[in-house]
Amino acid sequence: MADAMAASEKILSDYKNALEKDFLDYQNSEIKLADMEVKTETTRIDKEINKEVALEQIKLRMELSKKAAELKEKIFTQLEGRLADYQSSPEYKALLDSQIERALKFAGDDEVKIYIDPNDEALAHGLSVEHGIDISISKYPFHGGMRAVIPAKNILIDNSFEKKIAEAKDKFDVDMEVL
């Protein structure tokens, strides 16, 4: 009976040890599986966050670009207003005199045709008399300044404010870092 009890206890102990080993193996397996699920979910969440951040950055860049364009437009609207004020000053007539003088000097003995903006029509006669040439009024407004054509050299001298403003707009860049 003692041998049978000892054998029974040994069988029971071996079975208990086998169950404990199986349980530990199961726990380790489940822990590894849970770790893998956590890593997978973490990676998925990171990707989702990165995607949302990228979309938000694009949205912010678009807003920033829009604000920069609005600021640029506001600056150039103010510039055009100041140019309009400048065109009624004596300095503007002096600028036209200087531009005409340089165009005449550049043309030398060649024929030159000088055009001024339709808004400057009142200055045309005085400029014609002062420089001894016929000053024409352009059919198309160009916001001030003057244009000269030298047909013999096939040259257009464009000192119009319209051209200068267009060049400035092309070169103008709002520094987005400052905003």
CA angle 155, 148, 161 (to 5 degrees): 115
Give the model confidence (pLDDT) of 9-60 as tens digits: 999 999 999 999 999 999 999 999 999 999 999 999 999 999 999 999 999 9
In percent, how much of the chain has pLDDT > 70?
97
CA angle 101, 107, 112 (to 5 degrees): 85
Model pTM score: 0.66
161 residue type, one letter: F
Count the neighbouring beta carbons within 10 Å of the beta carbon of residue 164.
17
